[in-house]
Amino acid sequence: MRHLAYLGVLAGCLVCALWLEPVLKVNVLRRWRRLLLTLLPVVVVFVLWDLAAIAAGHWTFDPHQTTGIVFPGGLPLDEVLFFVVVPVCAVLGFEAVRAVLGRPAGDGDE
């Protein structure tokens, strides 16, 4: 079961954040295009950063704690999911704070 450790942590993060969507009605997942535009640069930059670090020998992953599904360049699926899950949780948390403070989310309110 150690090979699912990374996925377990990511699942825990999602469980701790996803309740904000229906309870506080933050509508992050309903505005999926906006979420994708937010995630895209984060995923691209950090995947490239990790690939460079792996290629340089500065960064490795414990194969006993990941699924074993590895993309070309040595990047595990688990790590790519990290770059999606953690920002989604952060956006959910940010929008939850806005909702609690009574600041509506929407286009052009920044």
Give me the pLDDT at residue 110, please.
Answer: 47
Q: Are 53 and 47 in contact (CB under 8 A)?
A: no
Distance separating alpha carbons of residues 90 and 80, to the nearest angstrom: 16
Give me the pLDDT at residue 2, please.
Answer: 83
Distance separating alpha carbons of residues 88 and 92, to the nearest angstrom: 6
Where do runs of H (alpha helix) occur along the chain? 5-18, 20-23, 32-55, 77-100
Q: Give every CB contact of residue 50 below 8 A, 6+ residues apart in sequence.
A: 59, 75, 79
For residue 1, the number of C-alpha atoms closer than 13 Å in the C-beta half-sphere is 2
Distance separating alpha carbons of residues 95 and 20, to the nearest angstrom: 9
Give me the pLDDT at residue 63, please.
Answer: 87
Q: What is the pLDDT along the chain (110 residues), one digit of tens a residue?
A: 788 888 999 999 999 999 999 999 999 999 999 999 999 999 999 999 999 999 999 999 988 889 999 999 999 999 999 999 999 999 999 999 999 998 876 645 44
Give me the pLDDT at residue 106, please.
Answer: 60
